[in-house]
Amino acid sequence: ITKEDIGKKISVADYNEACKKAVMRYTGVWHDMTRKIGYWVNMNDPYITYKPKYMETVWWLLKQLYDKGLLYKGYTIQPYSPKAGTGLSSHELNQPGTYKDVSDTTVVAQFKAKAETLPTFLQGYGDIYFLAWTTTPWTLPSNTALTVGPDMEYALVQSFNQYTFNPIRVILAKDLVEKQFKTHYFPTGNDEDFSAYKKENKKIPYRILTTFKGADLAGIKYEQLLPYALPYENPGNAFRVISGDFVTTEEGTGIVHTAPTFGADDARAAKEAVPEVPPMLVKDENDILVPLVDLQGRFRAGLPEIGGKYVKNEYYNEGEAPERSVDVEIAIKLKEENKAFKVEKYVHSYPHCWRTDKPVLYYPLDSWFIKVTKVRDRMYELNKTINWKPKATGEGRFGNWLQNANDWNLSRSRFWGIPLPVWRSEDGREELIIGSVAELKSEMQKAVAAG
């Protein structure tokens, strides 16, 4: 059963009854495990999460958090499972087995700088491209900025594109030049190596022309890489170089392809830029601003070439996935258009949904959060007072997680779960949180009396 089936192939009531039976199916197993491990639990009167008594306890706790200013509604980039149809918390992503090694198609894309926006020290070199690496080519249609490290050193490199054999001048972090020009290239300072180069040659020459700081690149504009759509709001502020403190030279090119709708760091850097870089949001049929990818993990219908396609082949039903994934299709297109410097397979660890075993997306969602960051330091200090056995567990994995804990996303878009006891007007000006069943009845009576 998928989320889309609920209310169509099975009623909500029947679905919830099936969930209840599934929960209670393992009661005997829990009894046996509890006895063996030695929990101090009253098995004659256990808490059961779907019982009103437990739900009311959660409501009371949420009201305490709300009254202390620790519960808020936010629109942020969060882990999201398209197949489960719900957001995931950092706790869920930290469960054993959620991160798996996957082999993805990666692209080092060439973003062409607009000559009229180049600073004086970069003029006179001809066409210049920024190199940015991504393990998620499907996010490239949503690119609206390139982020550099302001204090990092960058280089302008002369060479040829290995797919089109066109002469190119590219910008990337100086510390990563040797790594990016490793396989098919050789360094040279000889002009003859460039004039004599032919596409039949096994090796391609390259050389550094000049170096500069990342801060010197901020504000340069570039041509949109894949012009399938434009941001609805302030498109004139998009497609430019900005600065960010999260850029490193550990991997890639030292220039980060920035898609604010699909990355937390991307969204923060775009918002902090002056002027703010708009996310790639377009209006749907209901006149609502939405990302290019829907909640099922598909590109929105109407987009040229990619409309209606899933961003990952794992989201297709069994036997329906195309031979080429969207990532591969985009990589091929970029190669043909002289917009790809390098395309290769890359093995890396990627989060998966613990319910569906499918890859997670980072997606803009409206959710309720517990402000863990406000009390994080206090929790970390209190953790040190616990007599952990073994000690390494408390100080290691748990302590490290606690020290870097983010605000906790409580919201789940599910039919089976505890309802959040928050009533809020559409404009957000009125808000009421209910802490008990008695309080709910009282507020209902007030509402009836008010008409």
- CATH number of the domain at 161, please: 3.90.740.10
**Least reliable range by pLDDT among 30-44, 176-190, 291-305, 350-364:** 30-44
Residue finishing a domain among 287, 319, 351: 351
Report the C-alpha gap between 356 and 43 in whole angstroms: 31
Q: Does 395 reside within a domain?
A: no
Are β-strands 167-173 and 129-134 bridged in parallel, bridged antiparallel, or unpaired? parallel
Mean pLDDT value across residues 418-430: 88
Of all residues in the chain, the percent with pLDDT exceeding 90 is 78
Distance CA 273, CA 84 (A): 34
What is the rounded average pLDDT of the residues 177-206? 96
| Tally of domains within the chain | 3
What mean pLDDT do residues 208-236 have? 98
pLDDT digits (tens, 9 = 90+) for 355-399: 899 999 999 988 898 999 999 999 999 999 999 999 999 989 899
Question: Same domain for 59 and 106?
Answer: no
Q: Is residue 123's pLDDT more than 90?
A: yes
Residue 423 pLDDT exceeds 80: yes
Rounded to an integer, what distance in angstroms lies between the CA atom of residue 247 and that of residue 244? 6
Of the ranges 191-195, 283-287, 340-344, which one carries the lowest mean pLDDT score?
283-287
Residue 408 has pLDDT above 90, yes or no: no
Q: Are residues 137 and 229 in the same domain?
A: yes
pLDDT at 259 over 90: yes
4 pLDDT more than 80: no
Task: Count CB-CB contacts under 10 A for residue 302.
Answer: 12
Q: Does any domain span residue 116?
A: yes
Residues 271 and 129 in one domain: yes
Is 169 exposed, middle or buried (CB count within 10 Å of its CB: 0-12, 13-18, 19+)? middle
With cut-offs at 50, 70 and 90, classify the pLDDT of residue 127.
Answer: very high
284 Cβ partners below 8 Å, 6+ apart? 290, 300
Mean pLDDT over residues 427-438, rounded?
A: 92
Does residue 419 fall inside a structural domain? yes
For residue 288, what are the domain limits? 100-351
Structural domain includes residue 376? no
Q: Is residue 393 part of a domain?
A: no
pLDDT at 2 exceeding the cut of 80: no
State the pLDDT at residue 414.
78
169 lies in some domain: yes
**Cα–Cα distances in angstroms (integers) from residue 293 to residues 3, 142, 196, 296, 362, in the given order:** 18, 9, 46, 8, 11
314 lies in the same domain as 180: yes
Give yes or no: residues 294 and 153 share one domain.
yes
What is the phi/psi pair of residue 221, to 5°?
Answer: -100, 155
Residues 301 and 425 in one domain: no
Residues 159 and 289 in one domain: yes
pLDDT of res. 263: 94
User: Residue 1 pLDDT more than 80?
Assistant: no
| C-alpha–C-alpha distance, residues 24 and 204, integer Å | 65
Question: Pairing between strand 431-433 and 71-81?
Answer: unpaired
In a domain, 385, yes or no: no
Say whether both 306 and 232 belong to one domain: yes
80 located within any domain: yes
Tell me, yes or no, whether 273 and 194 share the same domain: yes
Same domain, 74 and 200: no
pLDDT value at position 413? 76
The 3-state DSSP class for residue 438 equals: helix
- Contact yes or no for 127/112 (Cβ under 8 A): yes
Please write the tens of the pLDDT for every residue from 53-81: 999 999 999 999 999 999 998 878 989 99
